[in-house]
C-alpha cells in the first residue's frame, strides 16, 4: 500500500507545473508585492493624482474641442476661410488644401490656453517637463507647421472622394485615412521625429550587441540601434521599433540608457521587438481604420441633417463644402470620446502581447518588473478592473509586474527572491 502511495505521489509531482515547484522558495505574489510597495507615500499619491486627473482631461478636452469647432462654425469663419480659398485657388480641387491653412491655425489658437495648461503647466506641476516655456512653444509651432501640411493634403483627398461619391464617401474616406496612417508611420522615423530630437547610432558595446542579437534571432531587419535625446523634453523612458517600407529603425531614448540597468534596457527592447514580430502595426492600422470607418459612417448620416437645419446660418452649402469640415470634426470628437474604452482595450491587448513576447525574448523578468515600476511614476499602479478597462491603454504596473514574476516562476530554474528598492536597485 505504501509503495502504491509513493508511486502516486511521484506521478503527481512529475506533472505539477514549474511555478508550483518554485513556490517553495519563490512566491510570485510576494515578489510582486515587494515591487509594488516601492512606490508609496507621496510618490504614489502624486502618480495616482496625475493619472486620475487625466480621466477628466478626456472629457474636458472633448468639450474644448467641440467648442472650438462651434466657434469656427457659428462665427462663419469656416465659410470665410472657404471663400478665401476659392478666390485664391485656380482649381477646385485645391480649395480644401488652402482652406486648411487658416482653419488649422485659428482652431489651434482657440484651444491654445487649454493646450498650454495641459501640455506645459500641468506637466511642470507634476515635474514631468524639462523644457522651458519658450522651448515648449517652439515645439508646438513645429507641430503646427506639420499639422497644416498634413491637414491640407488630407482635406484635398477627403473632399475629392466626397465630390465623387456623395452618398458613399465615408467608405472611400476610410481608405483615405488608412493611406495617411500608413504614410505617417513610414515617414515619421525619418522626417518627423528628427525635427524634435537628434538621433545618433548607439555606441558599440555588449548592450547594443544584445539588442541586435535579439533582433536577428526574431528576423527583425535592423543593423543598427539609434539613441534620441528625449531627456531635453522629459525624464520618461521610451523606445520603439518604428517605420515601414525600408524606413524601419530600432530606437531608444537617452533616459532609458541613463536611468535603466542593462537588464531593464533588454526587457524594454524585447517588448518593442515584439510589436514588430507580432505585426501589431498592421493590426492597429486595420482595426483603427475600421473604427474610423464607423465614425465616418455616423458623420455621413448626421452631418446632412445638421446642415439642413443650421447650414444656411453658418454659410455652408452641403457636405461637399470644405467649410463643413469643423462639423465633421465635432461629430468625430464626440464619437472618439465614446469609443475610448474600445481603443484602449485594443492597444492594451497588443501591449500585453508584446510584454509576453519581451519576457520570452529578453528573459529579464526582474528588469521588466523594475521598468514597470519606473513607468508607474506617472501611471496609476493599481487601478480597479473597470477603471483599467475604461482609461488604461497599457496594462497597469501591478499587472505587468505580476506577469513578469509569474514568468520568472515558470521559466527560471531556482528563481531568487529580489528585494527591490525605491530607486530601482535590487538586492538578492
Kindly state whether residue 187 falls inside one of the protein's structural domains.
yes
Output the DSSP codes for 266-311: HHHHHHHHHHHHTTHHHHHHHHHHHHHHHHHHHHHHHHHHHHHHHH
User: How far separated are the first and last CA of the chain, in Å rounded?
Assistant: 44
- pLDDT of 353: 97
Kindly state whether residue 265 falls inside one of the protein's structural domains.
no
Q: From CA 232, how far away is CA 138, in angstroms rounded?
A: 13
- Of 129, 374, 379, 127, the C-alpha closest to 258 is 374
Q: Cell 531608444: give the residue.
A: 252
Contact residues for 323 (Cβ-Cβ < 8 A; gap 6+)? 78, 79, 81, 82, 99, 314, 315, 316, 317
Kindly state whether residue 360 falls inside one of the protein's structural domains.
no
Question: How many residues belong to the chain?
Answer: 428
Kindly state whether residue 286 falls inside one of the protein's structural domains.
yes
Identify the DSSP state of 232: G
- Of 6, 138, 48, the C-alpha closest to 382 is 48
pLDDT digits (tens, 9 = 90+) for 154-190: 999 999 999 999 889 999 999 999 999 998 888 888 8
Q: Grid coordinates in use for 33? A: 508585492
- Total domains, the chain: 1
Residue 135: domain span: 48-197+281-342
- pLDDT of 4: 36
Kindly state whether residue 289 falls inside one of the protein's structural domains.
yes
Residue 90, SS3 per DSSP: coil
Report the DSSP pairing between strands 426-427 and 249-253. Answer: unpaired
- Of 23, 38, 16, 15, the C-alpha closest to 408 is 23
Phi/psi of residue 227, each to 5°? -115, 130
Kindly state whether residue 302 falls inside one of the protein's structural domains.
yes
Kindly state whether residue 178 falls inside one of the protein's structural domains.
yes
Sign of the torsion angle spanned by Cα atoms 115, 120, 123, 129: positive
342: left (phi over 0), alpha (psi -120 to 50) or beta: alpha
From residue 244, alpha-carbon distances to 214, 221, 355, 374 in Å are 20, 11, 22, 30
Residues in the chain predicted with pLDDT less than 50, given as ranges, are: 1-23, 424-425, 427-428
Q: From CA 382, how far away is CA 388, in angstroms rounded?
A: 9
CA dihedral 326, 332, 338, 341 (to 10 degrees): -130
Residue 4, SS3 per DSSP: helix
Residue 426, SS3 per DSSP: strand
- pLDDT of 23: 44
Kindly state whether residue 208 falls inside one of the protein's structural domains.
no
Amino acid at each position: 500500500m505504501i509503495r502504491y502511495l509513493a508511486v502516486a505521489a511521484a506521478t503527481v509531482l512529475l506533472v505539477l507545473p514549474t511555478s508550483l515547484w518554485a513556490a517553495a522558495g519563490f512566491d510570485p505574489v510576494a515578489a510582486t508585492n515587494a515591487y509594488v510597495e516601492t512606490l508609496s507615500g507621496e510618490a504614489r499619491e502624486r502618480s495616482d493624482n496625475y493619472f486620475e486627473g487625466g480621466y477628466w482631461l478626456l472629457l474636458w478636452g472633448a468639450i474644448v474641442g467641440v467648442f472650438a469647432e462651434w466657434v469656427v462654425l457659428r462665427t462663419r469663419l469656416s465659410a470665410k476661410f472657404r471663400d478665401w480659398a476659392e478666390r485664391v485657388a485656380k482649381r477646385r480641387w485645391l480649395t480644401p488644401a488652402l482652406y486648411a491653412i487658416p482653419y488649422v491655425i485659428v482652431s489651434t489658437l482657440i484651444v491654445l490656453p487649454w493646450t498650454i495648461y495641459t501640455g506645459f503647466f500641468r506637466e511642470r506641476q507634476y515635474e514631468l517637463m524639462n523644457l522651458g516655456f519658450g522651448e515648449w512653444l517652439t515645439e508646438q509651432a513645429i507641430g503646427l507647421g506639420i499639422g497644416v501640411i498634413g491637414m491640407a493634403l488630407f482635406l484635398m483627398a477627403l473632399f475629392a472622394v466626397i465630390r465623387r461619391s456623395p452618398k458613399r464617401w465615408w467608405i472611400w474616406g476610410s481608405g483615405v485615412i488608412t493611406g495617411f496612417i500608413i504614410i505617417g508611420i513610414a515617414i515619421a522615423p525619418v522626417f518627423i521625429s528628427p525635427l524634435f530630437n537628434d538621433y545618433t547610432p548607439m555606441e558599440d558595446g555588449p548592450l547594443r550587441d544584445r539588442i541586435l542579437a535579439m533582433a536577428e534571432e526574431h528576423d527583425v531587419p535592423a543593423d543598427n540601434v539609434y539613441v534620441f535625446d528625449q531627456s531635453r523634453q522629459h525624464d520618461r523612458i521610451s523606445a520603439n521599433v518604428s517605420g515601414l517600407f525600408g524606413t524601419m529603425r530600432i530606437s531608444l531614448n537617452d533616459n532609458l540608457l541613463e536611468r535603466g540597468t542593462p537588464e531593464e534596457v533588454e526587457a524594454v527592447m524585447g517588448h518593442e521587438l515584439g510589436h514588430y514580430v507580432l505585426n501589431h502595426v498592421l493590426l492597429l492600422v486595420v482595426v483603427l481604420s475600421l473604427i474610423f470607418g464607423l465614425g465616418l459612417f455616423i458623420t455621413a448620416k448626421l452631418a446632412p441633417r445638421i446642415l439642413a437645419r443650421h447650414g444656411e446660418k453658418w454659410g455652408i452649402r452641403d457636405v461637399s463644402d470644405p467649410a463643413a469640415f469643423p462639423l465633421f470634426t465635432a461629430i468625430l470628437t464626440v464619437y472618439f470620446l465614446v469609443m475610448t474604452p474600445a481603443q484602449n482595450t485594443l492597444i492594451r491587448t497588443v501591449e500585453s502581447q508584446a510584454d509576453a513576447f519581451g519576457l520570452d525574448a529578453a528573459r529579464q523578468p526582474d528588469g521588466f518588473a523594475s521598468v514597470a515600476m519606473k513607468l508607474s511614476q506617472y501611471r496609476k499602479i493599481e487601478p480597479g478592473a473597470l477603471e483599467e478597462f475604461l482609461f488604461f491603454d497599457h496594462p497597469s504596473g501591478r499587472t505587468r509586474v505580476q506577469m513578469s514574476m509569474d514568468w520568472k516562476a515558470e521559466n527560471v530554474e531556482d528563481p531568487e527572491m529580489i528585494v527591490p528598492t525605491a530607486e530601482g536597485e535590487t538586492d538578492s
